[in-house]
Structure 1
């Protein structure tokens, strides 16, 4: 049934579903469409690109033909992005931005679709502002459907809406430091929500414009607390639509019957399924790390066969029962293929297949991903034979391997003679710990026998209000170190600002209190038996400044617990003024590289630091200063950086 005929039936309720072009989003929207189709008064229109509709048709049984209509959305086709790349499945990572940009230009074609169908409701994905605009222009209400993990959406909404510094109420949800570092490395790191302009970010704009409700793929049994909290902070009712499990056809079951039989022989919860999806391309290092971990686990591992990895190439093969070895040694693929691959997905998969098997060498040894340093996987004789076969041609004598002392043994003896071997004595002599150092960002109460090296940035006594004591810095990480009154006499003469130390036998506690200086979760507590050894230096040490742009201070409000670092050129120095009881203050105006100005206030001895500058201003010239761990104070709508 075509869309024109359906639209003439005014007794039926018409809904357009518009998923993002990723297969995981499309499959969930399709499952949602099948669920809605159970209601006889609904007409469902699933809208996507041509290449995605071809995939959807394979998963849409005939019984849905009267209730679900597939509608093609025409994306602007560019020379760099042909039709078969109008999907994220198999899309090279560097083309994702191009696809996103082309998708955002689909508004005019989508308006034509709305005019033709005249829907009663649009259900959209996470970032289609252009679709919402098209629906709004024709008085069609629109609702957001989030098909991912609702707990992550709840956490994202919290950081975007709640005041900065307020903790997410469910501590089991957080990113660890190594996870953030890995996301940065692969280019998919999302900065903290306080650094995102939520008034213009497409995700939150789509959330705000959803009509009264937001649909999520989950159940109250699985994520009730996250659903309720998200509903509370976004001001809209969050409705779970269920887990949306896809239907399995008889063909799917028959295709994987061997796998099902294998699983039937396994104990419950003894098999882990890992899927990297169609958008993530493993690097060689990733594959090696995963393979090494699998080998060390000594657990069963199922790898995908070539026919699953490259289905379009497998479809061209006449001899589908051939062994892998036959394809590794294949010199003329046209002999066994019905025809050679013809561009698009066929050519892409064929190129990937050739790349995957190019350097593979099969042996009679048992299957394994790594060599376990045993003779069954490698031997000197096999290496010699391989080199001879690759380098020497007929008529040459085989390589002789004299039983001389290998060069690595000579190097070992040379280092031994110089007393440069990494023995425990030498490691300690060169200020290297006998155990690995713990970075300050990894300090945790659950760790035993922690040793850190750090440089003392600043020391001062606690104020009556309970402000913290000593901040420390290591490789860009900072942590507070507190010395109690009964231990002050021991460490008073040992700690020197700017000096580096090795610290052992200390305690680790929660970095709580009313005025924590740093956002680190834990702090170091010095005891009487804490070992504090001064060292000359360590190469990785630096101040670890995190400078804030001056414009940032006018776009967000800082709490009294937060500390900031700023750098700027002095453009104005005020005269000292009396303040309070026997105190004085001085106002200094700084300017950053973007010509933004910032007012800084210095009290008591800090204000005296500028006397030399004011007395010798002409001879000194431009002065750049750095403020570390300063506070931001507010007076009505006026604010200033404060150093006390």
Structure 2
């Protein structure tokens, strides 16, 4: 008999990391793994509060689904009032020090669980390297972002040695500075594609040195998994650009899609979701609605949000707009006078909602978004063309690939070079019209529908991601068997 496999999954405490790792955890649990899911106490409490549950209720619901699953949380050492994701550098420094505490947590928790087979680490939780080494188990690095950005990030110190980092302001638009020396057969990487924290203006900030440190530890891996699918990235060779000393590097995503296609809801939110919007969507014509959301972290100036509002008003399309309470540089926004009254017959504004359910609704025609990787994969998987408006980190390379490589989206010119550039209401209106009507809109829609079909095929039985996940499980079984 094969021993029961036990994966310890450690997530970075942010919405865009928790969701893919929780979906991955459920895919493993369905295949018989015992799962220990580790995150910070702050994140755990946010998730429970948003779901209106206590820990006991959540644990009972998981057990009722037949999963062998436990949740463990650990203090990040930061005060309750700390901004966490609004002060990323400090959050990273706190997480980097958690190795001994995580090891103690794993070794003192319930001893009746199976021996640990592997530690699946979010690629941005570097402290797991010392934990895996101390416990003598494989470290599986899980990239929650796309392959191109993952390769750039993992090679940040090499790019530093070659003079590509820090990215100088005057080089952002320079074709002479395109990068072609990275593994994985990537298209040429532009200076604006590199993680925004590596720009010269950030060199004195904590986040610059933190990301360089994380890059070094990201290359301490026994196995690499990427939340993407081979066909999107140009084949299996792209992921091999993340292989460390020849270790396997496999695309197994989109990890939420098997759960979605089989009717399982495994999306987890830090905010209470507004459910009233689905009745509103039901009343809209097929393919007519523009969905507007900038994810869980991105912020904009109040002036920019006013221009966006007026552009949405002028375009004439029905729109569903997610306006977080902290969207306007940390506070709520006062929209232009009379805007809500003038658009009330074709607009709905909510503070948060179930994005995947929105994107899968037949009334959806387009998505104006920040180009976070999870949202990009969801748009692909639901067949929704998009307008990318990146804010920071990997969102610039995601937006560039959406527009230039995969060709199912548009962007606003110049925002990748100047994040303070004001996109006027006229530009917002014309870009939305290009997304929603005419020959270009038809082409974008055809391209994303084609990718949707490929993504669905990849995660179903016999597909590339399905097969790669089985390969990972078989390799973990061999490791577990050899340790018996």
TM-score (norm 1): 0.39
- Cα deviation 1:486-531 (Å, max 9, x = unaligned): xxxxxxxxxxxxxxxxxxxxxxxxxxxxxxxxxxxxxxxxxxxxxx
User: In 2, distance between residues paired with 1:103 and 1:183?
Assistant: 18
> Do 2:289 and 2:320's aligned partners in 1 also have CA atoms closer than 8 Å?
no
CA drift at 1:35: 0.7
Identify the residue that residue 229 of structure 1 maps to in structure 2.
238
Identify the residue that residue 569 of structure 1 maps to in structure 2.
none
Cα distance, 1:291–1:139 mapped onto 2, change above 3 Å: same
Cα distance, 1:189–1:172 mapped onto 2, change above 3 Å: farther
Structure 1 position 276 matched with structure 2 position 294: yes
CA drift at 1:70: 0.6
Structure 1 position 261 matched with structure 2 position 282: yes
Instruction: Give the alignment's Cα RMSD to 1 decimal.
Output: 4.5
Cα distance, 1:112–1:188 mapped onto 2, change above 3 Å: same
> Do 2:10 and 2:37's aligned partners in 1 also have CA atoms closer than 8 Å?
yes
Structure 1 position 366 matched with structure 2 position 342: yes
CA drift at 1:176: 6.8
Structure 1 position 291 matched with structure 2 position 309: yes
Picking from 139, 150, 155, the partner of 1:153 is: 150
Identify the residue that residue 47 of structure 1 maps to in structure 2.
38
- Cα deviation 1:52-83 (Å, max 9, x = unaligned): 22354549643347411110112224xxx31x
Greater strand proportion: 1
Structure 1 position 205 matched with structure 2 position 226: no
TM-score (norm 2): 0.50
Residue 18 of structure 2: SS of its match in structure 1?
A: helix
User: In 1, distance between residues paired with 2:187 and 2:71?
Assistant: 41
> Do 1:121 and 1:142's aligned partners in 2 also have CA atoms closer than 8 Å?
yes
User: In 2, distance between residues paired with 1:56 and 1:122?
Assistant: 22
CA drift at 1:146: 0.4
User: In 2, distance between residues paired with 1:255 and 1:363?
Assistant: 21
Greater helix proportion: 2
User: In 1, distance between residues paired with 2:40 and 2:140?
Assistant: 21
Aligned length: 295
Identify the residue that residue 139 of structure 1 maps to in structure 2.
136
- Cα deviation 1:213-258 (Å, max 9, x = unaligned): 2001112232243x41341564332112221226438998965431
Cα distance, 1:159–1:202 mapped onto 2, change above 3 Å: closer
- 1:147-546 pair list within 5 angstroms: 147-157=144-154, 164=162, 166=180, 174-175=189-190, 201-211=212-222, 213-225=223-235, 227-232=236-241, 234=243, 235-245=246-256, 247-248=264-265, 255-262=276-283, 265-267=285-287, 271-304=289-322, 309=324, 356-357=333-334, 361-362=337-338, 366-367=342-343
CA drift at 1:23: 1.1
List alignment gaps of at least 5 residues for structure 1.
Answer: 1-9, 311-347, 369-644
Identify the residue that residue 389 of structure 1 maps to in structure 2.
none
Structure 1 position 19 matched with structure 2 position 11: yes
Identify the residue that residue 630 of structure 1 maps to in structure 2.
none
Cα distance, 1:154–1:303 mapped onto 2, change above 3 Å: same
User: In 2, distance between residues paired with 1:257 and 1:186?
Assistant: 44
CA drift at 1:300: 3.1
User: In 1, distance between residues paired with 2:89 and 2:340?
Assistant: 46
List alignment gaps of at least 5 residues for structure 2.
Answer: 110-114, 163-178, 345-484
Bigger-Rg structure (1/2): 1
Identify the residue that residue 384 of structure 2 maps to in structure 1.
none
User: In 2, distance between residues paired with 1:99 and 1:29?
Assistant: 19
Cα distance, 1:72–1:170 mapped onto 2, change above 3 Å: same
> Do 2:143 and 2:227's aligned partners in 1 also have CA atoms closer than 8 Å?
yes
